[in-house]
Structure 1
Amino acid sequence: MRRGIYLIEEVDFRPMNSRAPREYLTWLTRYKREDEALDRPVLTSGLSIRSREIDLVGAFYAVGITGHPQFRAVTLWDCHGGWDGGWRQMMEIYDGVDDRLFLSDIDDLRFSAFSRPLGAVAGGPAIADLLAEPYAAPFYVLESARVRPGAALDYLAAVAEERAPILADHGHRCVGLYEVLLCDSEVVTLWGATLDDHLALQRAYDAALGLDDEVEPDPRLLAWRKRSRDFLEGPWRETLIAPFPGSRLAPR
C-alpha cells in the first residue's frame, strides 16, 4: 500500500476584510463540488487544473484568537493515487508553463498563500476512511512543529503511540499525522474536537500545572510536553480551525 499524499495551504487576505475569506472558501467549495463529475483532469482558463483526483477534503476558517494571522483560510487536499495520481496532475500543469497557469478567477482576492506537501505516516488514518464513516467535527486542532533534521518520523511515531491515546481520553480524534515533504524538519498533525473537549483539555492541562483546582488534572499532558522535546528543535504551535459549511470535513 502506498502512502497518502496530501497538500495543505494557508491563505492570507489583505486588506483585513472579513468577507474575503468567506468569498474565497465559498468559491472554492462550490467549484470543487463541480469537479466530482469530471472523468479526466482538465486545464481551463481562469480555474487552473480541475480534477476529481485532487480532492478538497477540508476547507477551514482560521480561529484568529488561537494564534493565526487574521484573516486566514486553511485548505487540505487529498491527492488520490498519491505521487502518480493527484500529485502528478498538479505537477503536469508546469510542464511547458501554459499561459492558462497564470489566470485565476480569484486573482487579487488572496494576498499570499503558503503550500506544503504532506506524506501520511503509519498510525494515522486515511482521510478517505474518515469521510466514508462519515466523520466531521465542529473544530479541528492544527499542529505545526519543527523537529530536529531527520526526526520527523520518530516524532510522529511517538505521537501515534503516546500522545494520541491521551488526547482520545479528552475527546480529540486523530485526523492526520503528516511528514512535511521536500524537507526533513517539519511535521503537521490534525485533530477533531468539540468546543467542550477543547476547553476541558485546556483546563486539565492548567490543573496539572497547579493553576486550576476545580477540575481533575492530567499529568500525562505535562509528561508529553517533556517527551516531545526529545524531537523538537524549533517552534511548536497548535491553532484551531473551523470547517467551512459545505466542505467535506464540516458537520452537515
Structure 2
Amino acid sequence: MRRGIYLLEEVDFRPMNSRRPLEYLTWLTRYKREDESREAPTMTSGMSIRSREIDLAGAFYAVGITGHPQFKAVTLWECHGGWDGGWRQMMEIYRGVDDKLFLSDIDDLRFSAFSRPLGAVPGCPPLGEVAPAEFYLFESARVRPGAALDYLEAVRAERAPLLAEHGHALVGLYEVLFCDTEAVTVWGVSLDDHLATQRARDAALGLDDEVAPDDRLLGWSRRARDFLDGPWRETLLSPFPGSRLSPLPGSRVPPAGR
C-alpha cells in the first residue's frame, strides 16, 4: 500500500474583512465539485491545476478564539495515488513555469498562504473512512530533529485511546515532509465532548470541583515533552459545507473507491 500524501494550507486575509474567508471557501468548494467529473488533469488560466486526483478533503473556517489569527481558512487536500498521483500532478505545473501559473480567479483575495506537505504514518486512518465531525482539533507540534515518527507513534499508541474515551476520533497522523522538526495531528470532536475534555483537565489541575478529573490528560502532556523541542499548539477548526469532512448540508459524499 502506498503512503498517503496530503497538503495542509493555512490562508490569511487582510485587511481584516470577515467576508473574504466566506468568499474564498465558497469559491473553492464550488470549483472542486466541478472537478469530480474530470477524466484527466488540466492546466487552465485562472484555475491552476484542475484534477479529481487532487481532492479537497476538508475546508475549514479557523475558530479564532482558540488561537488562530482572525480571520483565517484552512484546507486539507488528499493526493490520490500518493507521490505518483495527485502530488505529481501538482508538481508538473512548475515544469517550465508556465504563465498560467501566475493567473488566478482569486487574485488579491488572499493576503498570504502557508502550505505543509504531509505524509501519513502507521495508524493514520484513510480519509475516506473518516466520519464527518462537528469540529476538528488541529495540532501542530515542533519536535526534536528526527523525532516526528516517534512522537506520532506515541500519539497512536498512548494518546489516541485516551482521547477516544473523551469522544475524539482520530482523523490524521502526519509527518510534515521536507523537514524533520514538525508533526501534525487532526481529531474530530463534538462541541460537548470538547467542553467535557477541557473540564476534566481543569479538574485534574484542581481548578474544577464539579466534574471528575482525568489525570491521564496531564500525564500525556508530560509524556509529550519527551519528544517536543519547541512550540506546541492545538486549535479548533469548523468544517465548511462542500468538503468531505463536513457534516453540514451541501457537503459531498466521497466518490466510490476514493
TM-score grouping bracket, smaller chain normalisation: over 0.9
Separation of aligned partners in 1, 2:237 and 2:128: 20
Q: Deviations over 1:154-207 (max 9, x none)?
A: 000000000001100000000000000000000000000000000000000000
Task: Show the counterpart of 2:12.
Answer: 12
Task: Show the counterpart of 1:156.
Answer: 152
Task: Show the counterpart of 2:37.
Answer: 37
Q: Deviations over 1:46-80 (max 9, x none)?
A: 00000000000000000000000000000000000
Gaps of at least 5 residues in structure 2 are: 249-258
Separation of aligned partners in 2, 1:202 and 1:11: 28
Q: Kindly report which structure 2 residues correspond to 1:86-101, keeping only aligned pairs within 5 A, or say none.
A: 86-101=86-101
Task: Show the counterpart of 1:47.
Answer: 47
Instruction: Give the CA RMSD over aligned residues.
Output: 0.5
Q: Kindly report which structure 2 residues correspond to 1:59-208, keeping only aligned pairs within 5 A, or say none.
A: 59-130=59-130, 135-208=131-204
Separation of aligned partners in 1, 2:8 and 2:176: 10
Shift of 1:126: 1.0
Separation of aligned partners in 2, 1:66 and 1:116: 20
Any idea what SS the aligned residue of 2:106 has? Answer: coil
Task: Show the counterpart of 2:253.
Answer: none
TM-score (norm 2): 0.95
Separation of aligned partners in 1, 2:126 and 2:202: 32
TM-score (norm 1): 0.98
Q: Deviations over 1:95-115 (max 9, x none)?
A: 000000000000000000000
Shift of 1:129: 2.3
Task: Show the counterpart of 2:251.
Answer: none
Task: Show the counterpart of 1:228.
Answer: 224
Shift of 1:245: 1.3
Amino acid at match of 1:201: T
Task: Show the counterpart of 2:209.
Answer: 213
Separation of aligned partners in 1, 2:154 and 2:192: 26
* Worse overlay, 241-250 or 34-43: 241-250
Task: Show the counterpart of 2:256.
Answer: none
Separation of aligned partners in 2, 1:74 and 1:127: 16
Number of aligned residue pairs: give it: 248
Separation of aligned partners in 1, 2:189 and 2:108: 34
Q: Which stretches of structure 1, 4 residues or longer, exceed 6 Å deviation after superposition?
A: none
Any idea what SS the aligned residue of 2:242 has? Answer: coil
Any idea what SS the aligned residue of 2:212 has? Answer: coil
Gaps of at least 5 residues in structure 1 are: none
Amino acid at match of 1:192: G
Amino acid at match of 1:9: E
Amino acid at match of 1:148: R
Separation of aligned partners in 1, 2:214 and 2:125: 26
Shift of 1:35: 0.2
